[in-house]
Amino acid sequence: MVFNSIAFLIFLPIVLLGFYTLPQKVRWIWLLISGCVFYGWWKWEYLGLLLLSSTIDYFVSNSIAATNNPVVKKRWLWLSIGCNLGILIIFKYLGAFIMSFPNINHHLFTHPNFGALTQFLNAALPVGISFYTFQTMSYTIDVYRGRTAPAKHFGKFLLFVSYFPQLVAGPIERYNALNPQLTKKVNFHYQNFQAGFRFLIWGFFIKMVIADNLAGWVDTIYLNPYRWHPLVGIFGMVCFSLQIYADFHGYTLIAKGVAKFFGVHLMDNFNRPYLAKSVNEFWKRWHISLTTWFKDYLYIPLGGNKTNNIAWVFNILIVFFISGVWHGARYTFIIWGAIHGLFYLIEHRFNKHRGYKPQLKWAGQCLTFALVTLAWVFFRAPNLKIATGVFSTAFGLGDGSDFLTIPWHLGVLVIFFFIVDHGVFKRNIETTMDTWTWEKRWLFYSFIIFCLINFSGATAHPFIYFRF
Protein backbone atom coordinates (compact mmCIF):
# COMPACT_ATOMS: atom_id res chain seq x y z
CA MET A 1 0.00 0.00 0.00
CA VAL A 2 1.29 3.47 -0.75
CA PHE A 3 0.51 6.62 1.18
CA ASN A 4 -0.81 8.48 -1.84
CA SER A 5 -3.62 6.03 -2.58
CA ILE A 6 -7.31 5.81 -1.83
CA ALA A 7 -6.66 2.46 -0.14
CA PHE A 8 -4.42 4.16 2.41
CA LEU A 9 -6.87 7.01 2.97
CA ILE A 10 -9.43 4.35 3.94
CA PHE A 11 -6.93 2.16 5.79
CA LEU A 12 -5.60 4.88 8.09
CA PRO A 13 -8.89 5.94 9.75
CA ILE A 14 -9.81 2.29 10.28
CA VAL A 15 -6.46 1.58 11.96
CA LEU A 16 -6.75 4.73 14.08
CA LEU A 17 -10.30 3.89 15.13
CA GLY A 18 -9.27 0.37 16.09
CA PHE A 19 -6.18 1.60 17.91
CA TYR A 20 -7.98 4.09 20.14
CA THR A 21 -10.98 1.88 20.87
CA LEU A 22 -9.07 -1.31 21.69
CA PRO A 23 -7.63 -1.90 25.17
CA GLN A 24 -3.98 -0.94 25.58
CA LYS A 25 -2.72 -4.51 26.00
CA VAL A 26 -3.92 -5.69 22.59
CA ARG A 27 -3.06 -2.57 20.60
CA TRP A 28 0.30 -3.95 19.57
CA ILE A 29 -1.51 -6.89 17.93
CA TRP A 30 -3.73 -4.45 16.05
CA LEU A 31 -0.70 -2.48 14.86
CA LEU A 32 1.05 -5.70 13.86
CA ILE A 33 -1.96 -6.82 11.81
CA SER A 34 -2.13 -3.34 10.27
CA GLY A 35 1.55 -3.55 9.33
CA CYS A 36 0.97 -6.93 7.68
CA VAL A 37 -2.04 -5.62 5.74
CA PHE A 38 -0.10 -2.50 4.72
CA TYR A 39 2.86 -4.52 3.45
CA GLY A 40 0.87 -7.48 2.15
CA TRP A 41 -1.38 -5.16 0.14
CA TRP A 42 1.44 -4.92 -2.34
CA LYS A 43 2.36 -8.65 -2.37
CA TRP A 44 1.32 -10.82 0.55
CA GLU A 45 3.90 -13.47 -0.39
CA TYR A 46 6.69 -11.18 0.77
CA LEU A 47 5.34 -11.07 4.29
CA GLY A 48 7.20 -14.37 4.56
CA LEU A 49 10.45 -12.56 3.85
CA LEU A 50 9.71 -9.99 6.53
CA LEU A 51 8.91 -12.81 8.93
CA LEU A 52 12.08 -14.68 7.99
CA SER A 53 14.32 -11.67 8.53
CA SER A 54 12.63 -10.88 11.85
CA THR A 55 12.75 -14.48 13.07
CA ILE A 56 16.45 -14.78 12.33
CA ASP A 57 17.29 -11.58 14.16
CA TYR A 58 15.03 -12.37 17.09
CA PHE A 59 16.61 -15.75 17.72
CA VAL A 60 20.14 -14.61 16.95
CA SER A 61 19.88 -11.64 19.32
CA ASN A 62 18.60 -13.86 22.11
CA SER A 63 21.35 -16.39 21.42
CA ILE A 64 23.95 -13.60 21.57
CA ALA A 65 22.57 -12.45 24.90
CA ALA A 66 22.45 -16.00 26.24
CA THR A 67 26.19 -16.63 25.90
CA ASN A 68 29.20 -14.99 27.48
CA ASN A 69 31.64 -16.46 24.99
CA PRO A 70 32.78 -13.64 22.66
CA VAL A 71 33.65 -16.09 19.88
CA VAL A 72 30.19 -17.61 19.95
CA LYS A 73 28.61 -14.16 20.12
CA LYS A 74 30.56 -13.15 17.04
CA ARG A 75 29.51 -16.30 15.19
CA TRP A 76 25.87 -15.57 15.90
CA LEU A 77 26.33 -12.00 14.72
CA TRP A 78 27.90 -13.09 11.45
CA LEU A 79 25.10 -15.60 10.96
CA SER A 80 22.57 -12.76 11.23
CA ILE A 81 24.53 -10.45 8.96
CA GLY A 82 25.05 -13.25 6.45
CA CYS A 83 21.37 -14.16 6.38
CA ASN A 84 20.23 -10.54 6.04
CA LEU A 85 22.72 -9.75 3.33
CA GLY A 86 21.88 -13.07 1.66
CA ILE A 87 18.21 -12.10 1.49
CA LEU A 88 19.21 -8.73 0.05
CA ILE A 89 21.53 -10.28 -2.52
CA ILE A 90 19.00 -12.87 -3.69
CA PHE A 91 15.98 -10.62 -3.87
CA LYS A 92 17.54 -7.30 -4.75
CA TYR A 93 20.69 -7.92 -6.74
CA LEU A 94 20.76 -11.39 -8.28
CA GLY A 95 18.06 -10.95 -10.92
CA ALA A 96 19.40 -7.58 -12.04
CA PHE A 97 22.95 -8.94 -12.07
CA ILE A 98 22.02 -11.84 -14.36
CA MET A 99 19.92 -9.65 -16.63
CA SER A 100 22.76 -7.15 -17.01
CA PHE A 101 24.72 -9.52 -19.27
CA PRO A 102 24.34 -8.74 -22.97
CA ASN A 103 21.82 -10.88 -24.81
CA ILE A 104 21.13 -13.01 -21.76
CA ASN A 105 17.58 -11.76 -21.61
CA HIS A 106 16.91 -13.11 -25.06
CA HIS A 107 18.53 -16.48 -24.38
CA LEU A 108 16.78 -16.89 -21.05
CA PHE A 109 13.51 -16.25 -22.78
CA THR A 110 14.04 -19.38 -24.78
CA HIS A 111 15.20 -21.47 -21.84
CA PRO A 112 12.38 -23.41 -20.22
CA ASN A 113 13.78 -23.46 -16.67
CA PHE A 114 15.83 -20.35 -16.10
CA GLY A 115 13.64 -17.90 -18.00
CA ALA A 116 10.79 -17.78 -15.50
CA LEU A 117 13.13 -17.86 -12.49
CA THR A 118 15.28 -15.00 -13.71
CA GLN A 119 12.27 -12.97 -14.71
CA PHE A 120 10.83 -13.57 -11.26
CA LEU A 121 14.04 -12.49 -9.53
CA ASN A 122 14.36 -9.48 -11.75
CA ALA A 123 10.78 -8.38 -11.35
CA ALA A 124 10.12 -9.19 -7.75
CA LEU A 125 12.15 -6.71 -5.74
CA PRO A 126 10.37 -6.64 -2.39
CA VAL A 127 9.38 -3.11 -1.45
CA GLY A 128 11.53 -1.56 1.28
CA ILE A 129 13.74 -4.65 1.66
CA SER A 130 16.87 -2.55 2.23
CA PHE A 131 15.16 -0.50 4.92
CA TYR A 132 13.80 -3.25 7.11
CA THR A 133 16.88 -5.42 6.62
CA PHE A 134 19.10 -2.58 7.83
CA GLN A 135 16.74 -1.89 10.72
CA THR A 136 16.86 -5.49 11.95
CA MET A 137 20.62 -5.67 11.40
CA SER A 138 21.16 -2.56 13.52
CA TYR A 139 19.14 -4.20 16.29
CA THR A 140 21.24 -7.37 16.28
CA ILE A 141 24.50 -5.42 16.18
CA ASP A 142 23.30 -3.28 19.09
CA VAL A 143 22.49 -6.42 21.08
CA TYR A 144 25.95 -7.77 20.25
CA ARG A 145 27.55 -4.52 21.41
CA GLY A 146 25.49 -4.62 24.58
CA ARG A 147 23.76 -1.34 23.76
CA THR A 148 20.32 -2.85 23.86
CA ALA A 149 18.71 -5.80 25.58
CA PRO A 150 17.32 -8.49 23.30
CA ALA A 151 13.59 -8.49 22.61
CA LYS A 152 11.78 -10.88 24.91
CA HIS A 153 8.51 -10.92 23.02
CA PHE A 154 8.63 -12.16 19.45
CA GLY A 155 5.33 -10.53 18.48
CA LYS A 156 6.41 -7.14 19.75
CA PHE A 157 9.74 -7.49 17.99
CA LEU A 158 7.83 -8.26 14.81
CA LEU A 159 5.89 -5.04 15.35
CA PHE A 160 9.19 -3.12 15.61
CA VAL A 161 10.18 -4.48 12.18
CA SER A 162 6.77 -4.10 10.54
CA TYR A 163 5.60 -0.81 12.01
CA PHE A 164 3.80 0.45 8.93
CA PRO A 165 4.46 4.23 8.86
CA GLN A 166 8.19 3.67 8.37
CA LEU A 167 8.26 0.11 7.09
CA VAL A 168 8.97 0.62 3.40
CA ALA A 169 11.15 3.71 3.20
CA GLY A 170 12.32 4.57 6.69
CA PRO A 171 13.42 6.48 8.61
CA ILE A 172 15.57 3.54 9.70
CA GLU A 173 14.81 3.57 13.42
CA ARG A 174 16.87 2.04 16.21
CA TYR A 175 15.26 -0.51 18.50
CA ASN A 176 15.98 1.58 21.60
CA ALA A 177 14.23 4.58 20.11
CA LEU A 178 11.17 2.97 18.51
CA ASN A 179 10.28 -0.06 20.60
CA PRO A 180 9.50 1.76 23.87
CA GLN A 181 7.17 4.09 21.97
CA LEU A 182 5.30 1.18 20.38
CA THR A 183 4.57 -0.50 23.68
CA LYS A 184 3.88 2.50 25.90
CA LYS A 185 0.35 3.53 26.86
CA VAL A 186 -1.02 6.12 24.45
CA ASN A 187 -4.07 8.29 25.16
CA PHE A 188 -5.91 10.35 22.60
CA HIS A 189 -4.27 13.78 22.47
CA TYR A 190 -5.57 16.54 20.23
CA GLN A 191 -2.02 17.90 19.98
CA ASN A 192 -0.80 14.63 18.44
CA PHE A 193 -3.45 14.84 15.77
CA GLN A 194 -2.78 18.51 15.16
CA ALA A 195 0.94 17.87 14.71
CA GLY A 196 0.25 14.75 12.62
CA PHE A 197 -2.11 16.68 10.37
CA ARG A 198 0.53 19.36 9.79
CA PHE A 199 3.17 16.80 8.83
CA LEU A 200 0.69 14.96 6.67
CA ILE A 201 -0.67 17.91 4.73
CA TRP A 202 2.77 19.37 3.99
CA GLY A 203 4.10 15.90 3.16
CA PHE A 204 1.28 15.24 0.71
CA PHE A 205 1.74 18.68 -0.82
CA ILE A 206 5.42 18.25 -1.51
CA LYS A 207 4.94 14.71 -2.79
CA MET A 208 1.81 15.12 -4.91
CA VAL A 209 2.10 18.72 -6.06
CA ILE A 210 5.85 19.22 -6.21
CA ALA A 211 7.54 15.83 -6.67
CA ASP A 212 4.92 14.33 -8.99
CA ASN A 213 4.88 17.37 -11.27
CA LEU A 214 8.67 17.55 -11.31
CA ALA A 215 8.75 13.81 -12.06
CA GLY A 216 6.80 14.38 -15.27
CA TRP A 217 9.29 16.97 -16.51
CA VAL A 218 12.32 14.97 -15.40
CA ASP A 219 11.01 11.79 -17.06
CA THR A 220 10.44 13.67 -20.30
CA ILE A 221 13.93 15.19 -20.28
CA TYR A 222 15.70 11.94 -19.34
CA LEU A 223 13.75 9.89 -21.89
CA ASN A 224 15.71 11.44 -24.74
CA PRO A 225 18.22 13.91 -23.31
CA TYR A 226 19.86 14.64 -26.65
CA ARG A 227 16.93 16.54 -28.12
CA TRP A 228 16.94 19.41 -25.63
CA HIS A 229 18.43 22.88 -25.55
CA PRO A 230 21.28 23.20 -22.98
CA LEU A 231 19.06 25.27 -20.66
CA VAL A 232 16.56 22.41 -20.58
CA GLY A 233 19.40 20.01 -19.76
CA ILE A 234 20.40 22.14 -16.76
CA PHE A 235 16.75 22.58 -15.82
CA GLY A 236 16.29 18.80 -15.86
CA MET A 237 19.27 18.29 -13.56
CA VAL A 238 18.01 20.89 -11.06
CA CYS A 239 14.48 19.50 -11.30
CA PHE A 240 15.66 16.04 -10.30
CA SER A 241 17.55 17.46 -7.32
CA LEU A 242 14.31 19.04 -6.16
CA GLN A 243 12.18 16.03 -7.15
CA ILE A 244 14.13 13.47 -5.16
CA TYR A 245 14.16 15.74 -2.13
CA ALA A 246 10.44 16.52 -2.37
CA ASP A 247 9.64 12.86 -2.98
CA PHE A 248 11.66 11.42 -0.11
CA HIS A 249 11.10 14.27 2.31
CA GLY A 250 7.38 14.15 1.48
CA TYR A 251 7.32 10.44 2.28
CA THR A 252 9.18 11.00 5.56
CA LEU A 253 6.81 13.76 6.63
CA ILE A 254 3.77 11.61 5.88
CA ALA A 255 5.38 8.76 7.84
CA LYS A 256 6.09 11.13 10.75
CA GLY A 257 2.54 12.48 10.60
CA VAL A 258 0.93 9.03 10.58
CA ALA A 259 3.18 7.86 13.44
CA LYS A 260 2.29 11.01 15.39
CA PHE A 261 -1.40 10.01 15.23
CA PHE A 262 -0.37 6.94 17.22
CA GLY A 263 1.71 8.98 19.65
CA VAL A 264 5.01 7.87 18.12
CA HIS A 265 7.80 10.26 17.24
CA LEU A 266 9.97 9.20 14.32
CA MET A 267 13.41 10.68 13.82
CA ASP A 268 14.09 13.48 11.35
CA ASN A 269 15.52 12.31 8.07
CA PHE A 270 16.29 15.69 6.52
CA ASN A 271 17.53 19.04 7.68
CA ARG A 272 17.38 21.46 4.75
CA PRO A 273 20.05 19.57 2.81
CA TYR A 274 20.33 22.04 -0.04
CA LEU A 275 21.55 24.73 2.33
CA ALA A 276 24.62 22.61 3.12
CA LYS A 277 27.86 24.50 2.63
CA SER A 278 29.88 21.38 1.87
CA VAL A 279 29.38 17.79 0.74
CA ASN A 280 30.38 16.71 4.24
CA GLU A 281 27.59 18.85 5.68
CA PHE A 282 25.17 17.66 3.00
CA TRP A 283 25.53 14.14 4.30
CA LYS A 284 24.72 15.32 7.82
CA ARG A 285 21.48 16.80 6.49
CA TRP A 286 20.40 14.23 3.86
CA HIS A 287 18.78 10.87 4.66
CA ILE A 288 20.08 11.23 8.21
CA SER A 289 18.88 7.81 9.38
CA LEU A 290 20.88 6.02 6.67
CA THR A 291 23.95 8.24 7.07
CA THR A 292 24.06 7.62 10.82
CA TRP A 293 23.49 3.90 10.17
CA PHE A 294 26.53 3.77 7.90
CA LYS A 295 28.53 5.80 10.40
CA ASP A 296 27.64 3.61 13.38
CA TYR A 297 27.68 0.19 11.75
CA LEU A 298 30.22 0.50 8.96
CA TYR A 299 32.47 3.56 9.14
CA ILE A 300 33.35 3.33 12.85
CA PRO A 301 33.84 -0.47 12.85
CA LEU A 302 36.20 0.01 9.88
CA GLY A 303 38.26 2.33 12.05
CA GLY A 304 36.62 5.64 11.20
CA ASN A 305 39.11 8.51 11.25
CA LYS A 306 41.17 6.93 14.00
CA THR A 307 43.44 5.27 11.46
CA ASN A 308 46.20 6.37 9.15
CA ASN A 309 45.41 8.52 6.12
CA ILE A 310 45.35 5.72 3.58
CA ALA A 311 43.04 3.57 5.67
CA TRP A 312 40.78 6.57 6.28
CA VAL A 313 40.52 7.28 2.55
CA PHE A 314 39.71 3.63 2.02
CA ASN A 315 37.05 3.79 4.76
CA ILE A 316 35.40 6.82 3.21
CA LEU A 317 35.39 5.29 -0.26
CA ILE A 318 34.04 1.96 0.97
CA VAL A 319 31.20 3.69 2.85
CA PHE A 320 30.18 5.69 -0.20
CA PHE A 321 30.58 2.68 -2.46
CA ILE A 322 28.28 0.60 -0.26
CA SER A 323 25.91 3.52 0.03
CA GLY A 324 25.68 3.46 -3.78
CA VAL A 325 25.18 -0.31 -3.90
CA TRP A 326 22.53 -0.07 -1.17
CA HIS A 327 20.34 1.90 -3.57
CA GLY A 328 20.23 -0.84 -6.16
CA ALA A 329 21.88 -3.21 -8.57
CA ARG A 330 22.88 -0.60 -11.09
CA TYR A 331 26.37 0.60 -11.83
CA THR A 332 25.09 4.19 -12.04
CA PHE A 333 24.34 4.05 -8.30
CA ILE A 334 27.91 2.94 -7.68
CA ILE A 335 29.21 5.85 -9.77
CA TRP A 336 26.96 8.18 -7.79
CA GLY A 337 28.35 6.86 -4.51
CA ALA A 338 31.93 7.00 -5.76
CA ILE A 339 31.52 10.61 -6.93
CA HIS A 340 30.27 11.64 -3.50
CA GLY A 341 33.20 9.81 -1.93
CA LEU A 342 35.63 11.69 -4.17
CA PHE A 343 33.95 15.04 -3.53
CA TYR A 344 34.14 14.32 0.18
CA LEU A 345 37.85 13.54 0.04
CA ILE A 346 38.75 16.50 -2.19
CA GLU A 347 36.76 18.81 0.02
CA HIS A 348 38.47 17.47 3.13
CA ARG A 349 41.86 18.00 1.56
CA PHE A 350 40.92 21.53 0.46
CA ASN A 351 39.47 22.52 3.85
CA LYS A 352 42.49 21.16 5.68
CA HIS A 353 44.76 23.57 3.88
CA ARG A 354 42.54 26.58 3.29
CA GLY A 355 40.22 26.52 6.28
CA TYR A 356 36.56 27.47 6.29
CA LYS A 357 35.71 31.09 5.51
CA PRO A 358 32.30 32.22 6.72
CA GLN A 359 32.05 34.96 4.09
CA LEU A 360 31.98 32.22 1.48
CA LYS A 361 28.77 30.71 2.89
CA TRP A 362 26.68 31.44 -0.20
CA ALA A 363 29.42 30.28 -2.52
CA GLY A 364 29.73 27.06 -0.51
CA GLN A 365 26.00 26.47 -0.65
CA CYS A 366 25.85 27.08 -4.40
CA LEU A 367 28.90 24.92 -5.09
CA THR A 368 27.58 22.08 -2.92
CA PHE A 369 24.19 22.23 -4.61
CA ALA A 370 25.88 22.17 -8.01
CA LEU A 371 28.08 19.19 -7.10
CA VAL A 372 25.20 17.25 -5.57
CA THR A 373 23.05 18.04 -8.60
CA LEU A 374 25.73 16.78 -10.97
CA ALA A 375 26.01 13.54 -9.00
CA TRP A 376 22.23 13.05 -9.01
CA VAL A 377 22.39 12.63 -12.79
CA PHE A 378 23.98 9.22 -12.29
CA PHE A 379 21.42 8.37 -9.65
CA ARG A 380 18.51 9.19 -11.97
CA ALA A 381 19.88 7.93 -15.29
CA PRO A 382 19.11 4.26 -15.97
CA ASN A 383 22.43 3.84 -17.75
CA LEU A 384 25.63 5.65 -18.66
CA LYS A 385 24.33 6.58 -22.11
CA ILE A 386 21.48 8.62 -20.70
CA ALA A 387 23.75 10.21 -18.08
CA THR A 388 26.21 11.18 -20.81
CA GLY A 389 23.32 12.55 -22.85
CA VAL A 390 22.15 14.76 -19.98
CA PHE A 391 25.68 16.07 -19.36
CA SER A 392 26.43 16.71 -23.02
CA THR A 393 23.13 18.57 -23.41
CA ALA A 394 23.57 20.60 -20.24
CA PHE A 395 27.11 21.60 -21.17
CA GLY A 396 26.13 22.57 -24.70
CA LEU A 397 27.91 19.69 -26.41
CA GLY A 398 24.80 18.31 -28.07
CA ASP A 399 22.89 19.70 -31.02
CA GLY A 400 19.42 19.58 -29.51
CA SER A 401 17.31 22.71 -29.46
CA ASP A 402 13.90 21.69 -28.13
CA PHE A 403 12.33 23.55 -25.24
CA LEU A 404 9.96 22.21 -22.63
CA THR A 405 6.66 23.89 -21.89
CA ILE A 406 6.22 24.40 -18.17
CA PRO A 407 2.96 25.85 -16.87
CA TRP A 408 4.02 29.00 -15.01
CA HIS A 409 1.85 28.27 -11.97
CA LEU A 410 3.66 24.98 -11.36
CA GLY A 411 7.00 26.76 -11.59
CA VAL A 412 5.81 29.24 -8.97
CA LEU A 413 4.68 26.40 -6.70
CA VAL A 414 8.11 24.74 -6.88
CA ILE A 415 9.76 28.01 -5.80
CA PHE A 416 7.12 28.44 -3.06
CA PHE A 417 7.90 24.93 -1.80
CA PHE A 418 11.63 25.52 -1.62
CA ILE A 419 11.30 28.86 0.17
CA VAL A 420 8.75 27.58 2.70
CA ASP A 421 10.57 24.29 3.30
CA HIS A 422 14.08 25.62 3.61
CA GLY A 423 13.35 29.16 4.77
CA VAL A 424 10.16 29.14 6.83
CA PHE A 425 9.70 25.68 8.33
CA LYS A 426 13.40 25.12 8.62
CA ARG A 427 13.62 21.89 10.56
CA ASN A 428 10.39 21.83 12.50
CA ILE A 429 6.92 22.31 11.05
CA GLU A 430 5.26 21.70 14.39
CA THR A 431 6.93 24.47 16.34
CA THR A 432 6.96 26.92 13.44
CA MET A 433 3.21 26.63 12.94
CA ASP A 434 2.58 26.92 16.66
CA THR A 435 3.88 30.48 16.45
CA TRP A 436 1.42 31.38 13.68
CA THR A 437 -1.96 33.01 14.29
CA TRP A 438 -4.97 30.81 13.54
CA GLU A 439 -5.83 32.98 10.52
CA LYS A 440 -2.37 32.40 9.07
CA ARG A 441 -2.56 28.67 9.79
CA TRP A 442 -5.95 28.26 8.13
CA LEU A 443 -4.93 30.37 5.17
CA PHE A 444 -1.99 28.03 4.80
CA TYR A 445 -4.15 24.89 5.13
CA SER A 446 -6.65 26.29 2.60
CA PHE A 447 -3.91 27.04 0.12
CA ILE A 448 -2.36 23.59 0.48
CA ILE A 449 -5.71 21.80 0.07
CA PHE A 450 -6.52 23.99 -2.92
CA CYS A 451 -3.18 23.06 -4.48
CA LEU A 452 -3.63 19.36 -3.70
CA ILE A 453 -6.95 19.29 -5.52
CA ASN A 454 -6.02 21.55 -8.39
CA PHE A 455 -2.33 21.06 -9.03
CA SER A 456 -1.39 17.53 -7.99
CA GLY A 457 0.63 15.75 -10.64
CA ALA A 458 -1.59 13.86 -13.06
CA THR A 459 0.30 10.66 -12.35
CA ALA A 460 0.92 9.32 -8.87
CA HIS A 461 4.55 8.35 -9.25
CA PRO A 462 5.65 5.70 -6.77
CA PHE A 463 7.92 7.04 -4.05
CA ILE A 464 11.46 6.81 -5.42
CA TYR A 465 12.82 5.21 -2.26
CA PHE A 466 10.17 2.45 -2.25
CA ARG A 467 12.27 0.53 -4.73
CA PHE A 468 15.22 0.46 -2.37
Partner 1 sequence: MIKKIIIRLLFLLLIVVASILVYNKFIWPIDRYMHADLLDALDKNRDSAAIIYIGESSNFWNAKEEHDKRSISEMIAENLEFPLLTLNKSAYHLGIYKPLFKHINKRKNVKHVVLTINLRTFGPPCVHGEFETSLQKDALFLSNQVPIVKKLKAVFNMYDNQSADDRNKVLWQHWTKDTLNLNGTTLKFVNVKNWCAVDKFMDSNNIEDMPKRVLADHYIKAFGFNLNAKNERVKDLDAIVALAEKQHYQLYLLIMSENIHWADSLAGKDLGNLIRTNRDYLVKRYQSSNHVQIIDNLETVKSAYFGEKDWTTEHYYWQGRKQIADSVSQVIKRNVVINKQQ
Residues annotated catalytic, as ranges: 327
Q: Minimum distance between the CB of residue 212 and partner 1, rounded to whole angstroms?
A: 8
Preceding amide of 126 cis, omega within 30: no
Q: Cα-flanking dihedrals φ and ψ of residue 379, to 5°?
A: -65, -40
Count of residues near partner 1 by CB under 8 A: 28
Q: Distances in Å between the alpha carbon of 337 and those of 39, 144, 226, 290?
A: 29, 29, 25, 13
- Choose the binding region for partner 1 from 4-12, 144-152, 224-232, 345-353 (rule: CB under 8 A): 4-12
If one asks whether residue 459 binds partner 1 (CB under 8 A), the answer comes out as yes
> 6, 71, 223, 310: which one contacts partner 1 (CB under 8 A)?
6
Show the DSSP H helices in 295-330 as ranges.
309-327
CB of 279 vs partner 1, minimal distance in Å: 35
CA angle 348, 281, 298 (to 5 degrees): 80
Of the residues 106, 185, 306, 352, which one makes contact with partner 1 according to CB under 8 A = 106
Helix (H) or strand (E) holding 32: helix 24-43
Kindly state whether residue 446 participates in binding partner 1, applying the rule CB under 8 A: yes
Alpha helices in 44-126 (DSSP H): 47-66, 70-88, 95-99, 104-110, 114-123
Report if residue 4 touches partner 1, rule: CB under 8 A: yes
Give yes or no for residue 190 binding partner 1 (CB under 8 A): yes
- Is 384 a binder of partner 1 (CB under 8 A)? no
Per-residue string for binding with partner 1, 402-441, x by CB under 8 A? Answer: -----x----------------------------------
Q: How far is the CB of 405 from partner 1 (least distance, A)?
A: 9
Which residue in the set 14, 26, 85, 449 belongs to the binding site for partner 1 (CB under 8 A)? 449
Structural Rg of the chain based on CA atoms: 23
Residue 149: DSSP 8-state: P
* Angle CA 339–241–323, to nearest 5: 40
Contact 178, 139 (CB under 8 A): no
- Return the residue of 68, 110, 308, 435 that touches partner 1, per CB under 8 A: 110
Q: For residue 205, state whether it binds partner 1 (rule: CB under 8 A).
A: no
CB of 222 to partner 1, least distance (A): 15
194 phi and psi angles, rounded to 5 deg? -60, -50
List all residues 6 or more positions away from 439 whose beta carbon is below 8 Å from its beta carbon: none
80 touches 56 (CB < 8 A): yes
- Nearer of residues 104 and 322 to partner 1, judged by Cβ: 104
Asked if 124 is part of the footprint of partner 1 (rule: CB under 8 A), the reply reads yes
Among 10, 14, 29, 116, binds partner 1 (CB under 8 A): 116
C-beta closer to partner 1: residue 23 or 102: 102
* Of residues 84, 80, 393, 100, the one with CA closest to residue 230: 393
First to last CA, the chain: 15
Instruction: Decide whether 186 or 374 has the Cβ nearer to partner 1.
Output: 186
Which residues from 39-98 bind partner 1, rule CB under 8 A? none
Report the alpha-carbon distance of residue 147 to residue 425 in Å, rounded: 34
User: Does residue 309 touch partner 1 according to CB under 8 A?
Assistant: no
Single out the residue of 49, 77, 141, 208 in contact with partner 1 (rule: CB under 8 A). Answer: 208
The verdict on 17 binding partner 1 (CB under 8 A) reads: no
Q: Is 10 in the site for partner 1 (CB under 8 A)?
A: no
Residue ranges binding partner 1 (CB under 8 A): 4-6, 103, 106, 109-110, 116, 119, 123-124, 190, 208, 407, 442, 445-446, 449-450, 452-460
